[in-house]
Amino acid sequence: MKKKNDQTEPPPPSKNPLENLPLVRIQKELWEVRSRGLSSFRVARAKDTEPLFWQILLVPDHPPYDQGAFRVQIEFPFEYPFKHPIFTFMTKIYHPNIDEKGQVCIPYMKPENWRSTI
């Protein structure tokens, strides 16, 4: 994996074209986040062998979370973007939209409410 601006780049595409469909979409969305200058979002790890399983580091710029750094696992299903990713906070955080297990609990992230255009 390459280093650029002190951030780990996502893994290269697979040789299996079917595996590349969600990965291409994820890489496009990651590029959009980075191009907007969102410095608080860093890809901490993405394995070549598991391109749909990422760990990111959120380092908020503004209170009340600006004194923390939060590790988040993201599991993208093979059917992404038609099925929702699973976000799990590995670092304890007290937030109204994060449950005690670290799961994001907002209505549009539930399977029945997920839309690929969100």
Catalytic residues: 105
Residue 12 CA to residue 49 CA, distance in Å, equals 10
6: left (phi over 0), alpha (psi -120 to 50) or beta: left
Question: Could you tell me if residue 12 is left (phi over 0), alpha (psi between -120 and 50 degrees) or otherwise beta?
Answer: beta
User: Cα separation of 90 and 51, whole Å?
Assistant: 19
User: CB–CB of 105/99 below 8 Å?
Assistant: yes
